[in-house]
Amino acid sequence: MNLPVHSSARTACPTIDAVIENALAARRLVGTVVMVAKDGEIVYRRAAGFADREAGLPAREDTIFRLASVTKPIVTIAAMRLVEQGRIGLDEPVTKWLPDFRPRLEDGSEPDILIRHLLTHTSGLSYCFHLEDGPYVRAGVSDGVDQPGLSLDENLRRIASVPLLFAPGTGWQYSVSMDVVGGVIEKETGKRLGEAVAELVMQPLGLSDTGFTVTDRNRLAAPYVDGSPEPKRMSGTEKVRALDGSVMFAPDRIFDPSSYHSGGGGMAGTASDVLTVLETIARGGAPLLCENTVEAMTTNQIGDLLEPTRPGFGFGFGWAIVLDPAKAGLPVSPGSLQWGGVYGHHWFMDRARKVTLVGLTNTTLEGMWGQFTLDLKKAVAADL
């Protein structure tokens, strides 16, 4: 299902053009594909820079990117389809599907982790990159973008060996929760996550370029990391400082068929596919989900648990919600949705203005949370 394209889709947004050109000229990005939809039509689309700088290959609109956490909303939609079908319950414990997944609190007690806790990152789990030498690192946990060949069962075992940070439902911590959701989906469907997501999300929308394998390696963007005087091409393994820890990348992980399908970060795909999935939500969910489910997904599910660390934000099922744009310091409407991906991606959906932007880049971390992301939001506000 392709979105209709407005006749002026490449000429109507000079401010967005300037943002892209400035980021490339300043050598903060290597390559990018940016697409914007308004009122259900694509009103802007541009590929710029290089998909592979060393090979001289330009970015194209059909360039495939390693999506990292842009995977999360897609897998969340798959899970919510199973919820609608009565096959998964939001208030059922994960042990119904994964009986050996029983992480404990520091005091040794074993609380129930519910499906809704996983989908909202209120499970008490974490990520390796939150602490440089934290318990997840010592346990050998994969964040879903490293350790080629690691099985899902083994990663779940390692995750469950680490004490929970807090009792489920009492705090918020970005985490490997969506990898656990991936395990639930696999158990419920009896299929590998990639096959289940294809059947539940991608195929009903007629999308074939986005999944847990790379459909065409000739279109795959090379990954780069912030550097001076220009971004550096990633090596076979790349450790990148982020927040109070580090992210370990293994870009070739996706080529190893024995790597587990990470529900939090394992997909690769195109900007147009990602935009189509998000616009399906923006239009009410059909043919994937009913409007009531979309309403729940786009409603803050965590109270004020995010307020101490991210003022103005809440979290629904699959994405952050901008509750107070002034507090968040963002030029968007209340109720806007957003998230990103550590390989260098950012998207947002301004539901009030009926605008969705997808900006995929091959440059971490600039493309995920650098100046480029804020400049794009300001540019959309100026042009549309």
15 in helix, strand or coil? helix
Q: How many Å apart are CA 374 and CA 22, to the nearest integer?
A: 13
CA–CA dist 193, 78 (Å, integer): 10
Rounded CA gap, 22 and 16, in Å? 10
Per DSSP, helices labelled H in 253-346 are 271-282, 291-297, 325-328
- How far apart (Å, rounded) are the C-alpha atoms in residues 365 and 21? 18
Q: How many CB atoms lie within 10 A of CB 184?
A: 23
Chain-centre distance for alpha carbon 25: 27
Q: In 3-state terms, the chain is what percent helix, strand and coil (to 5)?
A: 35, 20, 50
- CA distances to 104, 156, 230 from 107, in Å: 8, 21, 48
Nearest alpha-carbon partner for 168 in 126, 201, 134:
126
> Under DSSP, is residue 209 helix (H, G, I), strand (E, B) or coil?
coil
For the chain, helix (H) and strand (E) counts, in that order, are 12, 15
**Residue labelled with tokens 């550096």:** 232
Does 259 qualify as catalytic in the annotation?
no
The pair of structure tokens assigned to 82 is 């199973």
Strand partners, 249: 238
Element (H, E) at 189: helix 177-189
Residues recorded for the chain: 384
Distances (CA, A) of 3 to 40, 44, 205, 274: 7, 12, 10, 11
CA distance 286 to 48: 32
Alpha-carbon distance of 54 to 354, in angstroms, equals 38
Q: Which of 7, 69, 177, 235 is catalytic?
A: 69
SS3 223: coil
* Residues acting as catalytic residues: 69
